[in-house]
Structure formats: C-alpha cells, structure tokens
Amino acid sequence: MKVYGDCQTPSFKPAEIVLECGDHGVRVEQLHWTSWTTTMASAVGVLVYNDCTPYCAVGHYHSIHDDRISLARPVRGAGGVRVWALIRLAHWPPGFKDEPFPLPTRPI
C-alpha cells in the first residue's frame, strides 16, 4: 500500500503528504507513522497551511503540531498500484470541511 505524498510518485510511509498539489499550500509533514496495515494507516505530524490572506501569493503559513492523520480507502491506482484514496486529519485549516479529503490515485 502506498500514497501519493508528493502528488507525483506513490511511496510507502512518506515524511510528507501534500493536500493541495497545485501550490503545496496545505500539507502534513514530519510524519511519524504509528500504524500501516492493508486497511488503514495512522501518523502524527505537523499540519502546515497558507491562510491566503489577503491572497495566497502573500499569505502566511501556520502550523498545527501533533496533528493526527489517518489514511483510508485503499484503491487500485495508476499502473495497478494499491494506494490510499482518503485522508482524515484531527485538525483542519480554515475553509476545509471536517471530513475525509480525497488523495490523488495517479500522478498529478
């Protein structure tokens, strides 16, 4: 089981997962994996996000330490590789819904 942590290449237990592939404005980094099975993966890391105030190019980055994440819904991705399709976070940046967020299942 792998995840498109960098939006380009599936990897096993990456140190970072980018949630906004276009500008890397939201990501979880410094991941320490506590579980990685065929049905779910869990980690603790730092959520980093751009507040985009007044707009994203000049926004400020904020960090939430010790954020808990989980990966779920394994699917067959590009080339038949099994990858995680959803991520859940304990804390979300402003403007994100508190629900599973889709992950790439092929290179972006």
For residue 5, the tally of other CB atoms under 10 A from its CB is 23
Domain boundaries, the chain: 17-102
pLDDT digits (tens, 9 = 90+) for 35-81: 999 999 999 999 999 999 999 899 999 999 999 999 999 999 999 99
- Model confidence at 95, in pLDDT bands (50, 70, 90)? confident
Strands 61-76, 82-89: pairing kind = antiparallel
Indicate the pTM of the whole model: 0.94
Say what the pLDDT of residue 29 is: 98
Q: What is the pLDDT of residue 98?
A: 77
